[in-house]
Structure 1
Amino acid sequence: MIDIIMLNDTNETVCATTLVTSKEMFEWNTSHISSKLLLATASVLTCLTFCLFLESFKYMTSKVPFGARRGYLAWLIGIYPVFSATSLTGIYIPRASILANWCANIYLAVCIYAFLMLTVNYFGGVMVMVERLKDTKIRLNRPPLACCCLCLPNIILTEVHFHRIRIAVLQVCVIRPLVLFIAAVLWADGIYVQAQISKDSAFVYLNTVSLISTLIAVYSLSILHKASVEPLKGYLIKSKFISMKIVMLTTNIQNLVLAFLSRFGVIECSTHFSSEVRANILYNYLVVFETFFMLFIGRLILSQWKDIRCNPVDTLSMASSGLPPNIFDLDINDAARRNYISLLKSVSMMDETVVKTACENSRIVKTLETDV
């Protein structure tokens, strides 16, 4: 792919210094067979990504009832077509690349928080999660930041610890979009140049801040994820976390790596494109290809999803282990949820007929909620 994108006349020594317009980009692509095929492939893959997203969303809605959980999952699945579409926009219109990346990172910021809230939703709320994990020791020496810090103690999850984790995750939802907004402002003033590596380059400092923020968020999520893998193993939480981590890291690290390759002449310039523009175009192509294959693999994993919403046997099994049946899918307050859990743990509720009735409708819970 690099060879195709880096086609240029080796006899030329004059490099382009300005961003090309969409018209110039289209004329250049149509005049080169290899670039035309590559652009057509990227366009087709983006369309397939959207089709696969719609099919995955339809499948997901058949397994998850209407509510907060369905919304969280829809945000997570949508991360692939959003990044694919914004990257394709950056290929067709290089001057809009910063704006497209800004939109994609705002969406990613929402998805990061949605994943955290999805984990809480699977447990049935913060109070339930703390109760379930009260005897679980959580290691702080987790990658990608503290895997070598063996001196860090193990902790028991409390509400205070959870809120600290949430703050550490929320910071990336603010910092990443803010960094890209500053980049767009500086670019408009001619100060910011994508993929430019130098001591005076705003690109280096802004992307470093973004990368550090992302690593802190991944580290915080990995702490909670590790403790949640076993209790939530029936919800494919590990696969969801891995997909989120890949998107978060590749969108940052990949961009920096290509910038360094551009800086040291691995990605050469031409009369039409500077080396920085070529690095950015290559980055957008990679994202389009990667998001399609990531969503395709994710769809294969999603096909293993079993519908356990109203299975009395699974419900009894979950209730006996302290996991409240069907309570994840109900939009109720914490007080009603605690009352429901205590009822489920009582002997009188450990009856298959009663549990099946509770699974088919929420009259018990609604009664509890009105009494609270």
Structure 2
Amino acid sequence: MDDLNETIDPRCLAEPPLAMDVIGQLDVFGIALYSIMTFMASVSLLLYLEECVYIFKHVSYPKKTTIIWVNGAAPIIATMSCLGMWIPRSTMFTDMTSNSYFAVVIYKFLILMLEECGGDEAFLKYSENKTIRISTGPCCCCCPCLPRVPITRRMLFLLKLGSLQYAIMKTVFSIFCIVLWTNGIFSPSDVTITGAAIWINPFVGVLTIISLWPVGIMFMHIRNTLRSIKIIPKYAMYQLVLVLSQLQSAIINILSLNGIIACSPPYSSVARGAMLTEQLMIVEMFIITLVTWTLYRRSYEPVKLKPYESENNLDAKLSLKPTLDVEHAA
């Protein structure tokens, strides 16, 4: 056992390096890589600021604030990832900032779909006497037998509440984790049964799933109505940010905790996994920022809500068709 311990570089068991240590150990390739990553994050942020100015001038309140919130997901995550790449010991704080911001974006995307319909009153008037399908992901996609639910003001309130709770609770838990970290109780890499992370993270995961459900329900209901404003690619970009910032990061974190991602002094296995995550996020969020810039930087005109036949009315018409055909033949 002693011989085994002697073969492990002590730096593989140490904390992530300081920012000056990172800069000091960069070679030519490292300088080029970090420069490119920083350039991508800077361009993402500049494109976002330019788009904010455009939206502020051409879109009326309150839609413009919602669009600015939703558009900020990719550039904010890219900026935080860049900070975490240069300052490895700050990754816990940059990740919590990114996740807290995206928790608000989930709620804001639901509000954006409502505002594209003209607001709550216009949506309720448009959806009067209609039903909504709740057997959607990520909660009930495997339950097609669930009945359709009437769209009422109370139902709309519950959908909003389902997404809003995560925006609030994620921020609260982030602050709570920082407080525990200052006392040496919380560590993202501590997954033992006595660690705080093993209890907090699954609960936050459940809250995330609950918050995504109302957005999926609303999207399935109005995707055809808002097809003219490219709501489907906008929803795809929102989902892509979700998968990359949550699922991809979780997979890399699990691999690093199990030692599959090798230690590379001065980075431990966990610190190297975090560094890889930050670099991947910068590239991915840069591409998503370019796509969302083309989707949202457009002329904003009111969407005309055209009544469409619900599935219930369509089934009724189909069932009456044979009878009508017989009467016509007679």
Fold match, TM over 0.5? yes
- SS of the aligned residue for 1:149 comes to coil
In structure 2, relative to structure 1, the CA distance for the partners of 1:102 and 1:291 (3 Å cut) is same
Could you list the per-position Cα deviations for residues 102-146 of structure 1 after superposition, in whole angstroms to 9, with x for gaps in the alignment? 322332233222222222222222222112112433211111221
1:278 partner amino acid: R
- 1:228 maps to 2:222: yes
In structure 2, relative to structure 1, the CA distance for the partners of 1:25 and 1:196 (3 Å cut) is farther
User: Which residue of structure 2 aligns with residue 35 of structure 1?
Assistant: 30
Q: How does 1:345-356 map to 2 (within 5 A)?
A: none
Query: Residue 213 of structure 1: CA displacement?
Result: 1.6
User: Which residue of structure 2 aligns with residue 17 of structure 1?
Assistant: 14
CA separation in 1, counterparts of 2:81 and 2:112?
27
User: Which residue of structure 1 aligns with residue 148 of structure 2?
Assistant: 154
Counterpart contact for 2:107–2:167, Cα < 8 Å: yes
User: Which residue of structure 2 aligns with residue 206 of structure 1?
Assistant: 200
CA separation in 2, counterparts of 1:117 and 1:302?
15
Could you list the per-position Cα deviations for residues 143-169 of structure 1 after superposition, in whole angstroms to 9, with x for gaps in the alignment? 122111122111121111111111110
In structure 2, relative to structure 1, the CA distance for the partners of 1:307 and 1:113 (3 Å cut) is closer
- SS of the aligned residue for 2:13 comes to coil
- SS of the aligned residue for 1:222 comes to helix
Q: How does 1:1-372 map to 2 (within 5 A)?
A: 13-14=9-10, 15-28=12-25, 30=26, 32-61=27-56, 64-302=58-296, 305=298, 307-308=300-301, 318=304, 321=306
Q: Supply the RMSD in Å over aligned alpha carbons.
A: 2.5
User: Which residue of structure 2 aligns with residue 367 of structure 1?
Assistant: none
User: Which residue of structure 1 aligns with residue 327 of structure 2?
Assistant: none
Query: Residue 39 of structure 1: CA displacement?
Result: 1.2
Counterpart contact for 1:140–1:152, Cα < 8 Å: yes
Could you list the per-position Cα deviations for residues 301-323 of structure 1 after superposition, in whole angstroms to 9, with x for gaps in the alignment? 346x45545xxxxx8xx37x369
Query: Residue 34 of structure 1: CA displacement?
Result: 3.0
Q: Structure 2 regions of 5+ residues with no counterpart? A: 1-6, 309-330
Could you list the per-position Cα deviations for residues 203-247 of structure 1 after superposition, in whole angstroms to 9, with x for gaps in the alignment? 343332222222211111110111111222222222322222222
Counterpart contact for 2:81–2:282, Cα < 8 Å: yes
CA separation in 1, counterparts of 2:264 and 2:65?
46
1:254 partner amino acid: Q
Query: Residue 36 of structure 1: CA displacement?
Result: 2.3
CA separation in 1, counterparts of 2:121 and 2:99?
31
User: Which residue of structure 2 aligns with residue 333 of structure 1?
Assistant: none
Q: Structure 1 regions of 5+ residues with no counterpart? A: 1-10, 310-314, 324-372
CA separation in 1, counterparts of 2:273 and 2:187?
12
Counterpart contact for 2:85–2:279, Cα < 8 Å: yes
Could you list the per-position Cα deviations for residues 43-75 of structure 1 after superposition, in whole angstroms to 9, with x for gaps in the alignment? 01011112322343455456x433211111111
Aligned-residue identity in percent? 22
Counterpart contact for 2:78–2:281, Cα < 8 Å: yes
1:50 partner amino acid: L
Larger relative contact order (CA 8 Å, sep ≥ 6): 2
Could you list the per-position Cα deviations for residues 67-115 of structure 1 after superposition, in whole angstroms to 9, with x for gaps in the alignment? 2111111111122221111111111112222222232233223322222
2:293 partner amino acid: R
* Matched positions, count: 301
1:69 partner amino acid: K
CA separation in 2, counterparts of 1:88 and 1:76?
20
Using the size of structure 2 for normalisation, the TM-score is 0.82
- SS of the aligned residue for 1:145 comes to coil
CA separation in 2, counterparts of 1:308 and 1:174?
32
Counterpart contact for 2:114–2:123, Cα < 8 Å: yes
2:271 partner amino acid: V
CA separation in 1, counterparts of 2:34 and 2:206?
33
1:20 partner amino acid: P
In structure 2, relative to structure 1, the CA distance for the partners of 1:207 and 1:255 (3 Å cut) is farther
- Of the structure 1 ranges 150-159 and 128-137, higher mean CA displacement relative to structure 2 is found in 128-137
